[in-house]
């Protein structure tokens, strides 16, 4: 494994909008980032907030887009000297206008670049950024129509997709509904190719069963075969997860079963 995605809460890092980061919380974040990147690991820092701050949408009167830009200006300033840090703008925006998310994403990217950071930016779409729904319109204007208008002044970005393979794509059930998970990436891949974009699969996973093993193998091979995909991070690992069915945290003896699925595709 050469990349770790590190989720955190915006409110915990920045308790008051447009104000300095909490000293203790930033120290916790920075300790991980500094030690991991010093060992050659790339860290994806991920405000895990669903395009909200204390429950209020970015772009609302309570959380103006300028506050989101301020947050990213501060974070980019902290890590612009570390090219092993990737900036994931936001985890899983949802239940909002896709156009409003685009406005926020563009403001975040501009703030990063205005801070002097050249780091790779990961850009999600609306509707939990599902690959399977990228061209659908049940959530409003499809991501495929809106997100082509994302602007990065440095042109160093990739779109971040998430994809689970249970019946409702939520990732809450151990059983996968299909052994052909690669088909769920097909429309997003075609969109990436058509627009000369890159993609990153920021969340995917499955329980320890034969159907999930088959589908994960196909997904990983599909990304190997389609070079628009620059990388992926499995959900999830770390001691906090306990017996969570998708955790690949190393147990006392041996490895989590899913590691044998992933190992042929590790760098």
Task: Kindly name the residue from 11, 25, 92, 187 that is annotated as catalytic.
Answer: 92
- Name every residue whose Cβ is closer than 8 Å to that of residue 39 and which is 6 or more positions away in sequence: none
Q: Does the bond joining 236 to the residue before it have cis omega, within 30 degrees of 0? A: yes
- 25 belongs to the catalytic site: no
Q: What is the CA radius of gyration of the chain?
A: 18
Work out the angle between the directed axes of helices 23-38 and 65-79 (0-180°, nearest 10).
50
How far, in Å, CA of 248 to CA of 4, rounded? 13
Q: Tell how strand 199-203 and strand 229-232 pair up.
A: parallel
Spatial contact of 173 and 183, defined as CB atoms under 8 Å apart: no
Alpha helices (runs of H) in 115-241, residue ranges in sequence order: 143-146, 186-195, 210-225
Q: Helices 98-114 and 65-79 meet at what angle, rounded to 10? A: 40
Distance CA(244)–CA(172), nearest Å, equals 10
Among 160, 187, 203, 249, the active-site one is 203
Query: Which positions are annotated as active-site residues?
Result: 92, 203
């Amino acid at each position: 494994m050469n990349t770790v995605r590190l989720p955190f809460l915006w409110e915990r890092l920045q308790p008051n909008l447009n104000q300095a980061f909490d000293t203790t919380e930033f120290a916790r974040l920075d300790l991980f980032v500094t030690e991991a990147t010093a060992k050659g690991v790339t860290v994806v820092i991920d405000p895990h907030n669903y395009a909200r701050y204390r429950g209020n949408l970015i772009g609302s009167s309570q959380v103006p887009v300028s506050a989101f830009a301020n947050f990213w200006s501060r974070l980019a300033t902290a890590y612009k000297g570390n090219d092993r840090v990737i900036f994931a703008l936001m985890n899983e925006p949802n239940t909002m206008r896709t156009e409003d998310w685009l406005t926020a994403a563009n403001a975040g990217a501009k703030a990063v670049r205005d801070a002097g950071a050249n780091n790779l930016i990961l850009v999600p779409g609306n509707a939990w950024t599902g690959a399977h729904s990228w061209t659908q319109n049940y959530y409003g204007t499809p991501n495929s129509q809106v997100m082509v208008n994302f602007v990065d002044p440095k042109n160093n970005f990739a779109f971040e997709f998430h994809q689970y393979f249970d019946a409702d794509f939520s990732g809450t059930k151990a059983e996968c509904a299909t052994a052909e998970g690669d088909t769920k990436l097909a429309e997003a891949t075609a969109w990436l190719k058509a627009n000369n974009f890159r993609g990153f699969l920021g969340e995917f996973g499955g329980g320890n069963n034969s159907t999930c093993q088959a589908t994960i193998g196909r997904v990983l091979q599909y990304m190997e075969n389609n070079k628009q995909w620059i990388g992926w991070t499995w959900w999830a690992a770390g001691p906090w997860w306990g017996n969570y069915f998708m955790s690949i945290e190393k147990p006392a003896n041996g490895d989590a079963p899913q590691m044998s699925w992933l190992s042929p595709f590790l760098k």
